[in-house]
Structure 1
């Protein structure tokens, strides 16, 4: 079956859910963030997907804002010893960063499919 045989899927919703960007049914992840080779429902080959460092950049920006904001607020409001930061800010950083990694990678893969993104080539 070709891409025209499937109704268009919303890339953000399918990416956040970790579903196939073509059919919206099959799962794209094999493990935590490793992509499956193909969709078990429609057979879409996921070799086109190369999210590279895109999700990591967004996570650093968004997660860094949240975690640094928390650490600054904690320091200014309570002036705790350093070990309080270790036991509060560090777990929040892990939860925020790891919690956003899989959904953002799914969104990047779905957007690549939706916009037919591929590696650039020089024309001669």
Structure 2
């Protein structure tokens, strides 16, 4: 069992690349964010994959910190009009969020697989 765990590819490289967490070869996504039913290379069933809102929350925190920090710096340093802030920072926030969403969801799914994460159950 421990040998199987050590033979797995890195969940970070496979998740960020959108590859199967078991073999590292097959594609994880079918479209932009829809997870495939199974890996085409090794046949792993992706039914376990439920990243929920986790990646979105982390992305909002990361993008919010970066974009807001840059916007505050520009405001203090240059004092541009508000319309210029809107033209610069709103599209940048959308681009940063969309660029990070797929890799973060892939990472969440890969870490779920490696750590054998599943829904909690109450024992009777």
TM (normalized to structure 1)?
0.93
- Residue 34 of structure 2 corresponds to 34
Provide structure 1 residue ranges, at least 5 long, that are not aligned to the other structure.
none
Q: How far apart, CA to CA, are the structure 2 residues paired with 1:18 and 1:119?
A: 23
Q: How far apart, CA to CA, are the structure 2 residues paired with 1:83 and 1:14?
A: 41
Q: Which residues in structure 2 correspond to 1:61-72 (within 5 Å)?
A: 61-72=61-72
Shift of 1:45: 0.7
Question: Does residue 58 of the first structure (1) align with residue 29 of the second (2)?
Answer: no
Shift of 1:7: 2.8
Question: Does residue 112 of the first structure (1) align with residue 98 of the second (2)?
Answer: no
Q: How far apart, CA to CA, are the structure 1 residues paired with 2:76 and 2:46?
A: 47
Shift of 1:80: 0.8
Shift of 1:31: 0.6
Structure 1 runs (4+) deviating above 3 angstroms are none
Partner SS, residue 116 of structure 1: coil
Matched length: 120
- Residue 23 of structure 1 corresponds to 23
Q: Which residues in structure 2 correspond to 1:82-101 (within 5 Å)?
A: 82-101=82-101
- Residue 73 of structure 1 corresponds to 73
Partner SS, residue 106 of structure 1: helix
TM (normalized to structure 2)?
0.93
Q: How far apart, CA to CA, are the structure 2 residues paired with 1:14 and 1:31?
A: 17
